[in-house]
Structure 1
Amino acid sequence: MNVPRESIARAFAGAADYDGNARIQRDIAQTLAARIAALALPRRPRVLEIGCGTGFLTQALAGLGGDWLVTDLSPEMLERCRARLGEDAHRRFAVLDGEYGDPGGGPFDLICSSLAVQWFDDAPRALARMGGWLAPGGHLMVTTLGPGSFAQWREAHAAEGLAAGTPRFAPVAAFGDFAVTAENRIERHDDPLAFLRALKAIGAHAADAGHRPLSPGQLRRTLARFAQSGCEVTYEVVTCHLHRAR
């Protein structure tokens, strides 16, 4: 991945209608929450969440209890999460760059994140670093995106001899020290412009560094190619789990 930090923060700051468009993101967070709920955790776990967004995963794990440190790179997203969950003596909110920052307050019994670490420069290395924040017996469990994501959009570009600005996601094999599973989820859009509007609405339109925007003609042809695919988009959802020994 090589999307400038300022581009990511700016895109998510402007994602005012995230909740209304992030259908698949909500589903993925709920699936991750179910897997986390099945882990053997202490009665009152110490929890760190990376990249909370508007709080899909935070809310889905509200019944877990414990003491939470909820973080996000975007102050605007963090405030939306706080508004969703409300104030609680056992829940703190902090702006944090999960890849390069230091949350303090550890160690943690659970570190979790839903569809945030794909924005990191080096997700496997960052997750290995986070593993050092775990308490003995602790769990790190996150979802991210694999390189199969947005395949139809990239193929539409390639058919026109163009390269998409889609970020370069880490391959599954790169997460070598983790227990990893991958599954494809399909999202369908009414038309190509609906897909682009949805990406912008959830702040996921930040392009890879060095990508040159398409000309109007190139964009029209690419959208036409994408329409031929049925306006389907694949999300390759990668779940990474690390359990620290006691």
Structure 2
Amino acid sequence: MTAPRERVGRAFAAAPDYDGHARVQRDVAQDLAARITALDLPERPRILEIGCGTGFLTQALAGLGGDWLVTDLAPEMLQRCRARLGEAVRHRFAVLDGEYGTPEGGPFDLICSSLAVQWFDDAPAALSRIAGWLAPGGHLMVSTLGPGSFAEWRTAHDPEGLAPGTPRFAPIADFGAGVAAVERRAEHHDSPLAFLHALKAIGAQTAEEDHRPLSPGQLRRVMARFAQNGCNVTYEVVTCHLKSRN
């Protein structure tokens, strides 16, 4: 993924109605939480969350207990997550670039992230580095997006010989043996404009750095083809699970 991280951070910080439009993101966080609660974690785990957003995963894991370090690239998202959870002694909040930064307070028994690492420059390499922050026997479990995501929007560009600005997500094979599951989730939108507005509302409109914006005419033709195909988009959700040795 090659969208500049400063632009990614600004887009999510300015997301006007993330919770109202992030239906798939909420469901994915719930499913990831169910996987995490089934892990063999210590009674009081030390937990790091990367890319908390507004707190879908953090809230879904509220019953897990433990000592939390909740992080995000955007300070505004941290504030929204804190507001969702309320003040809790076990939750600490910090701005962190999960790909290039280093958190305080490790090692961790659990490192988790829901639909955030797809914005990294090299998600597979980053996960390998992040796994080094695990305590012996610790778990790294994240959900991310695979290259099959938004296939319908890309297909609408093909007859025009155009490339969409949607990110080029890492191939699933690049995550190696860490891939625990691959699932596809469909989302329907009432119109092409509704799809584009939803992307902006959740801060996910940031294009690839080398993307050339479409002309108004090109965009109209792409949107018309997208509408002909039903205004549906697919999210290819990849769950990765790495465990450190005891």
Question: Do 2:143 and 2:239's aligned partners in 1 also have CA atoms closer than 8 Å?
Answer: yes
- Cα distance in 1, alignment partners of residues 34 and 72 from structure 2: 22
User: What secondary structure does 2:176 align onto?
Assistant: coil
Name the counterpart of 2:228: 228
- Cα distance in 2, alignment partners of residues 99 and 179 from structure 1: 19
Cα offset for 1:157?
A: 0.8
Give yes or no for the alignment of 1:208 onto 2:208. Answer: yes
Question: Do 2:179 and 2:238's aligned partners in 1 also have CA atoms closer than 8 Å?
Answer: no
Name the counterpart of 1:168: 168
Question: Do 1:99 and 1:120's aligned partners in 2 also have CA atoms closer than 8 Å?
Answer: yes
- Cα distance in 2, alignment partners of residues 104 and 179 from structure 1: 27
- Cα distance in 2, alignment partners of residues 159 and 194 from structure 1: 22
Percent of aligned pairs with the same amino acid = 76
User: What secondary structure does 1:181 align onto?
Assistant: strand
Cα offset for 1:16?
A: 2.2
Give yes or no for the alignment of 1:181 onto 2:199. Answer: no
**Unmatched tracts of structure 1, length 5 or more:** none
Name the counterpart of 1:63: 63
User: What secondary structure does 1:118 align onto?
Assistant: helix
Question: Do 1:159 and 1:225's aligned partners in 2 also have CA atoms closer than 8 Å?
Answer: no
Cα offset for 1:76?
A: 0.6
Name the counterpart of 1:100: 100
- Cα distance in 2, alignment partners of residues 149 and 242 from structure 1: 23
TM-score by length of 2: 0.99
TM-score by length of 1: 0.99
Deviations 1:78-122 (A, max 9, x none): 100010001111110000000000002100000000000000000
Name the counterpart of 2:109: 109
Specify the code of the residue in structure 1 equivalent to 2:216: P
Specify the code of the residue in structure 2 equivalent to 1:153: W
Question: Do 1:184 and 1:237's aligned partners in 2 also have CA atoms closer than 8 Å?
Answer: yes
- Cα distance in 2, alignment partners of residues 79 and 16 from structure 1: 14
Deviations 1:172-217 (A, max 9, x none): 1001141431111000001111000000000000000111111110
Moved over 3 A (4+): none
Cα offset for 1:6?
A: 1.3
**Unmatched tracts of structure 2, length 5 or more:** none
